[in-house]
Structure 1
């Protein structure tokens, strides 16, 4: 089990901190153990935190007016997850986050992260770079969903999330790809044959 000092080092790799900075950052994060099947955030909740995944796997999804789930993201070790639109606006969530594999999370509030930014500007630079990469990734995913056939989207998925297939349900993957589970099975069979 990681201590807070180790987690600070894990989260902010390659950023040197003084012992006072480490203690300040640690004071803003809270460790949470989440069991498979638990919900971290529900649609309509006020979003006050973002989460760093130390272990496990979580899923962000949206339920449309017809009751169909649309998976937006999986978060595995060393990823961040939240309903970011609601987090930044301190608003109600439109997304739900559930735990699909037992997880250890480190949560930080909007107030806490803002206090860290003010006290330690190099952390704000770190998060800016993370958000730039995340924005580019989401944009690429949207373009992929608009332009690529399902087989190519699946190949992109297994490249982005290596070794995740054995840990999550097929309908979660299909939901992420915007296809049916039957289509997912067909694609997998085609890839095995080639």
Structure 2
């Protein structure tokens, strides 16, 4: 009987997908379990991007440091999400982003060549990942449009909807940098929402 508790079923969490023991063993050999402590930087800007990470537990963020030294949070990743510097990962260029652990984290790392091996050996995994990439692309465009057209309050409400379990795990300045506002503006928005619902 296939190992239903395998990490494979966490990564490819689709009720329509099932794997043989041989397929599970093949995939598991391509992923390496790694653990990091809160505050650790697992990728620095300028480094080679040789893998992507599946989050089994914990919370991480990618961020950019501008020339003026200001941090801009690009993405959060919680349990069941993926994280990397995807420009570097897919294009072979050095990282533009940093990845920081906001909590102790258990991750599964995989290289691009190993992902390709999995796709070639087990084609149903490629269809699954393609669908996830399509959803990610839609989400990215929605965020760009929101940043161009929505108020800070609307962007914050979108954030709490998209990341319902993140807010208690991250610092206010992480959220503010993700939204493109100051921590003071974030506090005002929260007070306004709290007053509206009281």
After TM superposition, the score normalised by the length of structure 2 is 0.94
Structural RMSD (CA):
1.3
Where does residue 27 of structure 1 map in the other structure? 29
1:73-93, CA deviations, whole angstroms, 9 ceiling, x for partnerless residues?
A: 000010000011110112200
Corresponding residue SS for 2:193: helix
State the alpha-carbon separation in 2 of the partners of residues 11 and 101 from structure 1.
Answer: 20
Unaligned runs of 5+ in 2: none
Say how many residue pairs are matched. Answer: 192
Equivalent in the alignment of 1:131: 133
Match of 1:108 in 2: 110
Output the TM-score relative to the length of structure 1. Answer: 0.96
Structure 1 unaligned residues grouped into runs of 5+: none
User: Closer, same or farther in 2 for the Cα pair 1:61/1:109, shift >3 Å?
Assistant: same
Q: Which runs of 4+ in 1 moved over 6 A?
A: none
User: Quick check: which one's strand share is greater?
Assistant: 1
The residue number in structure 1 matching 2:153 is 151
Q: Which residue of 2 aligns with 1:11?
A: 11
Question: What SS is found at the alignment partner of 1:74?
Answer: strand
Distance 1:4 1:171, change over 3 A: farther
1:1-194 correspondence runs (5 A): 6-13=6-13, 14=15, 15-194=17-196
